[in-house]
Amino acid sequence: MAVDYEKHLEKALASLHEEGRYRVFTDLARRAGDFPRAMNHSTEPPREVTVWCSNDYLGMGQNERVMTAMKDAIDTMGTGAGGTRNISGNHHTIVTLEKELCDLHNKQAALVFTSGYISNEATLSTLAKLLPDCIIFSDELNHASMIEGVRQSGCSKRIWRHNDIAHLESLLREADPNRAKLIAFESVYSMDGDVAPIAEICALAEKYNALTYLDEVHAVGMYGQRGGGIADRENLMHRVDIIEGTLAKAFGVMGGYITGNSSLIDAIRSFAPGFIFTTSLPPAIAAGAIESVRILKQANDVRARHQDRAARLKEMLTQEDLPVLLSETHIVPIMVGDPVLCKAASDRLLNEHNIYIQPINYPTVPRGTERLRITPTPLHDDVMLEELVSAVKEVWDYLGISRDVPMPMSLSAAQ
Ligand SMILES: *Cc1c(COP(=O)(O)O)cnc(C)c1O
C-alpha cells in the first residue's frame, strides 16, 4: 500500500495537540533601546508587551557599543564570512574573538562555532570518538545538544542522577580504569536554575583520571569577577578541561564556543564535521561578541543588579504564596505541573496583561513539571516587577491553578 505521508505527519502533530504541548511561536519585534518591551505581532493590531522570558539576560542585544561594533564591522568588512574556516572564511575578527575567549576563561585555546548547540554536539561526539574506548558520564538533566553529542559519539554512556556526586562516583568506580572517561555537565541548569557542585566533580575527575566538559551557557557573562561563569566565580576554571559557552544569551549576539588546552582544541578543529563543513560566523557577529565580552569583563554592577532583580522577584512571588522555585540563580520558574494549564496561563498573561512568558512543557522539562520560566534582567524595574506579580496572581486565581505543586527533582534532592 502506498505511504500516506500527510496522514503520518498529521497524526504526529495531533498527538502534540492532544497533550496540550503543541508549540505556538509568538511573533515579536524587539525594539532597540526599549528592552524589555517588544511589539507582539501575533495579535491584530500588534500590541506592546513586556518580555519576561528572554535569554538576552542582560539586555546586551541592544547595548549601544555592541550595536556600533556590529555596524562598523559591516561597513568595513561586509556581511558574510565568505567561507568555512579552512577555505577563505578565517577572518581576522573571529581569530580575535577566540583570543578574547581564551583570556576570559584563562585557557590556551578557544574555538568558535555557529551556535552553542553545535559546539556541544560537535565537541562531545568528536572528542569521545578520538579517545580509546571512551565512556561518557552525563548528568541526567543535560541539555538536548549534549545528549545529541553523546548519542552521535556512539560511545558507551552512563547517566548519573542530577548533581548526585555519590552516584557519579559509584559509576566511575565501576568503570574499567584503562578506558577513557569524559564527564559532561552544566554549571547553571537552564530550567531549574540550580548549580552543579563543580569542585566536587573536578575532584572525582582527578581521582578517576577523567576529562571534564562543562556547559556554562547560562552563566557566562553573568557570574564570576569577569563574567567567566560559575567556574570563574569559584576559581575553578583551571580544573575544568573544556569550558563551553554561548555568545547568544548574556552576550546578546549569536554563536557558541569551547575553550581548553591547545591539543584538545586543535583536535576538535581538525576532526569535528560540525565545525569544519560550515561557513564561519560573519565578521559583524564576531565583532559584536568581542565588544560584549569586553564590556561584561568589567560589569560587576550589571551582574549585581541582575541578581538583585531575580532575588526581589522570588521574594515578591513567595510573599503572594505563588509556587516559585527558589533557585540560587537568575532563573525564576513558577511551577504549574500541567501542560494545558501552563499554556492557558501564558495565553492569559499575554492577552489580558501584555506580559509575555512562553510556557515550558515536555520534552524541555519532565512531564508534571511544566512551568513558566521567568528571567528578570537588570532592565526590569520595580514597576514592571509589581505589574508581573499582580498579573500572575490574577491568572492563578482566574484559572484556579494550584499553589501547591510538586517541585522538580533538582530542589527535592537538595532539600
Ligand atoms: C541554549 C543552550 C545551549 C545552546 O546554545 P545556543 O547558542 O542557543 O545554540 C546549550 N546548552 C544549554 C544548557 C542551553 O540552554
**Among 115, 117, 121, 150, residue to substitute to test ligand 1 (most atoms within 8 Å of Cβ):** 117
Judged by DSSP in three states, 195 sits in strand
| Ligand 1-lining residues (CB < 6 angstroms) | 115-117, 120, 143, 145, 186, 190, 215, 217-218, 246, 248, 256
Which of 7, 129, 157, 249 does the annotation list as catalytic? 249
pLDDT per residue as tens digits for the range 313-341: 999 999 999 999 999 999 999 999 999 99
Q: In sequence order, which residues have a C-beta less than 8 Å from that of residue 247 and are 6 or more positions away?
A: 112, 116, 253, 254, 255, 256, 257, 285, 289, 292, 293
Residuewise pLDDT in 10s, the chain (415 residues): 899 999 999 999 999 999 888 999 999 999 999 999 999 999 999 999 999 999 999 999 999 999 999 999 999 999 999 999 999 999 999 999 999 999 999 999 999 999 999 999 999 999 999 999 999 999 999 999 999 999 999 999 999 999 999 999 999 999 999 999 999 999 999 999 999 999 999 999 999 999 999 999 999 999 999 999 999 999 999 999 999 999 999 999 999 999 999 999 999 999 999 999 999 999 999 999 999 999 999 999 999 999 999 999 999 999 999 999 999 999 999 999 999 999 999 999 999 999 999 999 998 999 999 999 999 999 999 999 999 999 999 999 999 999 987 787 665 443 3
Q: Which three cell numbers stand for residue 274?
A: 560540525
Active site residue 249: yes
pLDDT per residue as tens digits for the range 33-62: 999 999 999 999 999 999 999 999 999 999
- State the Cα–Cα distance between residues 204 and 207, nearest whole angstrom: 5
Ligand 1 atom showing the smallest separation from residue 190 Cα: 15
